[in-house]
Structure 1
Amino acid sequence: MVTIYGGAAPAPSMPGLSLGGDSGYPREGRITIVLFFNGARDDDLSMVDTVISLREEFKEDVDLVGVHCPRFPAERDIRRMTALLECSGVDFPVYDDSSKSIRKSYLINGWPATVVVDPKGYLAWAKEGVIPPEILRPVIKTMQRTARVVGDIKPSEQQRFKGTELNMLPVRLALFGERLVILDGKSNRLIFLNLSQDGLSASIERSIGLGRPTLSDVTGFYCSQDRVFIFDRRGRKVRIIDLKGKELGTFSGNGNPALLAGPRSFGCPKGGVCKDGLLYVASAGTHQIWVQSLSGGGASPFAGTGRPGMDDGPPSLATLGSPEAIISDGRVLFISDSYSNSIRWIDTASGMVRTLVGEGPFLYGCRDGIGSKALFQRPMGLCINEGILYVADSYNDRIRGIDLSNRQAFTLYGSKKWQRLFCPSDVAVRGDRFYVADLGSGRIVHFDKKGGEPEILDIVGLN
């Protein structure tokens, strides 16, 4: 569709919003960008970044509206997706399209997809896929110029995404000595907690704000001695701060173009781990694991072709989907892959990539078993304790365990009605006690290894 202005067909109306924001879009007198996307897919979130930047560039004349397209059944849960969208930096009204009715009315077959509606309410331009701003900007600029000449623009403020009413949205957590460190996606900050001796309560030692514009969508962190590595998805960078929040440096991921056959930098870094003087980065946007020397210099892909998939093999042939969390037992790397619903592992000596558990990108569920017999649904945070790899199985609302000696996956917590978790995003172990970032409920839950009733961690001074 390339009409730019005065399209032949009026834009279909949309139902009332159910994910936060006002209603009545598209609005007369406004250029409206309609983005069809999934809030848990990295390609889609890159389009979110693009359209937000364009809205700010043309904010006097442009409205931005999202249509959320669920991929998993769990993504039809409004409360779950509201929390996830807020953590992903979405700040515009979003319609839920679990029924696919909006996609059908706009003739959208795949997403992400971008539709532009002119101020008279007519469909003017549409394109599926990831679109660079250089393509979309001229469309908006031409439409803006025409609309202003004919007087069709009506100045108006657009309401932003309302988000949840929770005080905190714990995206990631990790034990750092006797501290429990939380990445709060609600306030975009790191919270350092001093745990009590029994581990049942905690007090805030310090809170480090990460709210600068270039750090507006932090997806992970890694504490190492006196430094913290901050993984900035929107900025496509890894930033280094000290324990007081002072910035020490930046890894941009820029490698030597002569040595790289594929992507030239980090794409949506989600997490990382330090090992033997190297920082291994889960680069979800390029479907790879990257490696960066802590002494500086250029970064380079360590494993993965850059094509999404679930192929095992040497680093130049193996494929990864969307690596989320990455940890090490000192010998190998373990990676949660939310695209293929699997847990992968990499031998750092040879770079060989293997699948620990999981059956494939489109095979998901909640099933215990050995290796490929086990099913997960969007695995997120990881931790290791006494030969067991623990997984925050977010869309199954459970904490799962994998015995590394035999690849047996089992359900540790969440299978009983009184073991209530809602979209757990990370897990950590201290002695006999587990701590869970219960993202959807906005709290830290803890329980002992015997599987007792969950308790909410009492955090003194949290606001």
Structure 2
Amino acid sequence: MDRPPVVFTTGVTPHERLPKVRASELVGRGWLNTGGKDVSLADLRGKIVLLDFWTFCCINCLHVLDELREIEAEHRDVLVIVGVHSPKFVHEADPVALAAAVDRYEVHHPVLDDPELTTWSAYSARAWPTLVVVDPEGYIVAHMAGEGHKNNVSVLVRELVAEHEAKGTLHRGDGPYVAPEPTSTTLRFPAKAIRLPEADGHGWVGDGTDPRGGTLLVADAGHHSLVELAADGETLVRRIGSGERGLVDGGPDEARFSEPNGLCLVPEELRAELGFDVLVADTVNHALRGVRLRDGLVTTLAGNGQQFMVGAGDNVLPAGEAPDQARRQKLSSPWDVSWVPALGSFVVAMAGNHTLWSFDGRGTVEHLAGTMNEGLVDGPASEAWFAQTSGLAVGNDGRLWLADSEVSALRWLEATPDGARTGTAVGAGLFDFGHRDGAADQALLQHPLGVAVLPDGSVAIADTYNGAVRRYAPAPDGEGPGEVTTLAQGLAEPSGLLVEVHEDGAVDLLVVESAAHRITRLRLPARLAGELLDAGAHRTARPVSEIGAGEVRLDVVFTPATGQKYDDRYGPSTRLQVSASPPELLLDGAGDDVPLERVLRLNPEVTEGVLHVTAQAASCDADPAIEFPACHLNQQDWGVPVRVVDGGPAELSLPLHG
């Protein structure tokens, strides 16, 4: 029987306009950055409107915010960007948390709070991030999923300005954005902290009299700087960085960072040789910076300030290609760094492309683990899938523990004679999260950002979106899944942890409470077991799409960007990976193949589930006269909640925009 298709959207280039469709009204719980006023499409008539569907946990969404800053500044009198916040996690639906995120990420445009995904559904969004462009007359003219559309958006805005200025339908002037009142605190959305050693002869920290050691160094992401605090965790000693967003080397007053997150103290025996004492993951600058604590000198050690875009031809520079290989290598949102003795190098959590990298400190940075696909897959490091790894800590046994935030997981990497391998201690996948203690294979976290190893070898977890500190204890005999408990609750987005052991054996945990702009000290109980809690399990709640039982045709629509064509110089230019949760949902059609279309056979006995689809398409400049064409690998991941019904649509179409 013929059945109507489910069409999610159409892939278009900026020059290929969608059919004339009126934009839907902007409906949600409320507005931010408008001075308390609601905004309607009628209020925006005469402006070019760019709707940015985002959620603040998503690194790709944060990349888009950065991509749009320059466009927003250049066209502020004709372009209104509206952030439509459509949350993935339960915590992100909290209006207080959303307001903090808008402040944290310096969002300088109106934001619609869309916790029920009402406007998300009206615009057929199916992936974070999604951009929709509405012309000055209120018609949708472009629909783009994923990141990397800065150039296409710029071209389209210029075209629309020319077209509607000529028609008299473009109105210049201020938009509805109203800046919030500024606040002043010593720390602003701090991310991680490390304890600096006592004075060592160089006289660069502390006076050596405090029994807890030297001062604290904090990655003060919201102030784009590093802050040195006295041993009490409150008193300001000095600030390294001017406080202005940027990528500038130099002394503490002129150096600039952009949302630094991770910090690692260099092993004492290497400091003189390497010439820096602390390694910094400077996240939005896509760089690693070195800090010499004696005088606060900041130096860029790795990353050229440009984002590693998956599939771009100049992404990876071979190790040893040049003395400055690390400085020339593109990186992607490094979030944390840790020295791993078993590898003899620093390991970098490269959140932006779901990988781990190694850095030797001397000028070489290399891809260490992860395929750049987002998800939870264990095994050999080269085959592992990560999802926005954001926190690192090394155990006494040399194992590297990872807070893998988007799969709400605690994972590990260890070196073996056959190469590095990865495993998972806690976590189920991209769409499963919650606050559940007990057996580790059944326990749930919610977007953790930090980890620390406790004296007994167990692992403390900054369970960020649960506002909690959790503890994972391996099974005593090494058999079984281990156990998860809760050590503390009621914290404001804990993102970093620091363990301190006193002479009497007492253990303190310093918690970086990012959304409270402070460092909080927790005295851990003598028995580290913690409480067993179960606050429930959650799955990402998005509108469910009905599809038919039996055979369903999956079609990924790809149109190369203007001036580009499919790139098949080195083999097939496309790739399609399909899986399902639960796996029994698919009787046939799962797996990895070349064509961007596939027939799926759905199990009529499994009525609901999620289809996981990853599509890739390589394109490059079409002009044969260009000697070195610019190439790009377009990639998008979808998790499509589906309900299998008799007589439902027999086609599923997804956009992969060039």
Question: What TM-score do the two structures reach when normalised by structure 1?
Answer: 0.86
Residues 318 and 400 of structure 1, relative CA distance in 2, 3 Å threshold:
same
Q: 1:83, 1:439 within 8 Å by CA — same for their partners in 2?
A: no
Alignment partner, residue 43 of structure 1: 60
The 5 A counterparts of 1:336-351 are 336-349=403-416, 350-351=419-420
Cα distance in structure 1, aligned partners of 2:216 and 2:485: 26
Cα distance in structure 2, aligned partners of 1:131 and 1:448: 45
Alignment partner, residue 460 of structure 1: none
Q: Aligned partner of 2:245: which letter?
A: R
Residues 107 and 275 of structure 1, relative CA distance in 2, 3 Å threshold:
closer
Residues 160 and 333 of structure 1, relative CA distance in 2, 3 Å threshold:
farther
Q: 1:34, 1:114 within 8 Å by CA — same for their partners in 2?
A: yes
Q: 2:29, 2:115 within 8 Å by CA — same for their partners in 1?
A: no
Cα distance in structure 1, aligned partners of 2:497 and 2:54: 28
1:165 shift after superposition = 4.9
Q: 1:18, 1:78 within 8 Å by CA — same for their partners in 2?
A: no
Cα distance in structure 2, aligned partners of 1:246 and 1:175: 19
Residues 246 and 93 of structure 1, relative CA distance in 2, 3 Å threshold:
farther
Cα distance in structure 1, aligned partners of 2:261 and 2:80: 27
Alignment partner, residue 457 of structure 1: none
Residues 157 and 213 of structure 1, relative CA distance in 2, 3 Å threshold:
farther
1:92 shift after superposition = 2.4
1:440 shift after superposition = 2.6
Q: 2:357, 2:369 within 8 Å by CA — same for their partners in 1?
A: yes
Q: 1:357, 1:370 within 8 Å by CA — same for their partners in 2?
A: no
1:12 alignment partner, one of 14, 17, 25: 25
1:228 alignment partner, one of 273, 278, 283: 278
Alignment partner, residue 153 of structure 2: 136
Moved more, 163-172 or 366-375: 163-172
Cα distance in structure 1, aligned partners of 2:518 and 2:34: 24
Alignment partner, residue 384 of structure 1: 453
> Gapped runs of 5+ residues in structure 2?
1-9, 198-213, 248-256, 305-314, 321-328, 477-481, 502-506, 527-658
The 5 A counterparts of 1:45-60 are 45-60=62-77
Alignment partner, residue 565 of structure 2: none
Q: 1:166, 1:442 within 8 Å by CA — same for their partners in 2?
A: no
Q: Aligned partner of 1:195: which letter?
A: A
> Which SS does the other structure have where 2:434 is aligned?
coil
Q: 2:58, 2:128 within 8 Å by CA — same for their partners in 1?
A: no
1:338 shift after superposition = 0.7
1:265 shift after superposition = 3.7
> Gapped runs of 5+ residues in structure 1?
415-419, 452-463
Q: Aligned partner of 2:394: which letter?
A: S
1:424 alignment partner, one of 494, 502, 505: 494
The 5 A counterparts of 1:173-192 are 173-177=193-197, 178-192=214-228
Q: CA RMSD in A?
A: 2.8
Alignment partner, residue 206 of structure 1: 238
1:217 alignment partner, one of 252, 255, 259: 259
Q: 1:90, 1:161 within 8 Å by CA — same for their partners in 2?
A: no
1:106 shift after superposition = 2.5
Cα distance in structure 2, aligned partners of 1:303 and 1:372: 23
Q: Aligned partner of 2:282: which letter?
A: D
> Which SS does the other structure have where 2:65 is aligned?
helix
Residues 327 and 447 of structure 1, relative CA distance in 2, 3 Å threshold:
closer
Residues 309 and 8 of structure 1, relative CA distance in 2, 3 Å threshold:
closer
**Which structure: larger Rg?**
2
Question: What TM-score do the two structures reach when normalised by structure 2?
Answer: 0.62
Query: Is 1:367 the counterpart of 2:442 in the alignment?
Result: no
> Which SS does the other structure have where 2:230 is aligned?
strand
Alignment partner, residue 325 of structure 2: none
Deviation sequence 1:283-312 (CA, Å, 0-9, x none): 112111011221103x22111111112111
1:411 shift after superposition = 1.0
Alignment partner, residue 470 of structure 2: 400
Identity %: 24
Q: 2:340, 2:400 within 8 Å by CA — same for their partners in 1?
A: no
1:68 alignment partner, one of 77, 82, 85: 85
Q: Aligned partner of 1:251: which letter?
A: A
1:282 shift after superposition = 0.4
Alignment partner, residue 283 of structure 1: 350
Query: Is 1:411 the counterpart of 2:411 in the alignment?
Result: no
Alignment partner, residue 171 of structure 1: 191
1:102 shift after superposition = 1.3
> Which SS does the other structure have where 1:372 is aligned?
coil
Deviation sequence 1:75-130 (CA, Å, 0-9, x none): 11011122234333433221111021212332323331111122233322222233
> Which SS does the other structure have where 2:263 is aligned?
strand
Residues 144 and 14 of structure 1, relative CA distance in 2, 3 Å threshold:
farther
Alignment partner, residue 251 of structure 1: 302
Q: 2:234, 2:519 within 8 Å by CA — same for their partners in 1?
A: no
Q: 1:266, 1:290 within 8 Å by CA — same for their partners in 2?
A: no
Query: Is 1:313 the counterpart of 2:388 in the alignment?
Result: no
Alignment partner, residue 174 of structure 2: 156
Cα distance in structure 1, aligned partners of 2:57 and 2:129: 12
Moved more, 210-219 or 39-48: 210-219
Cα distance in structure 1, aligned partners of 2:82 and 2:49: 7
Q: 2:512, 2:518 within 8 Å by CA — same for their partners in 1?
A: yes
Cα distance in structure 2, aligned partners of 1:189 and 1:360: 34
Q: Aligned partner of 2:78: which letter?
A: D
Deviation sequence 1:338-390 (CA, Å, 0-9, x none): 11111111113431111122233322111223331221111111112202211
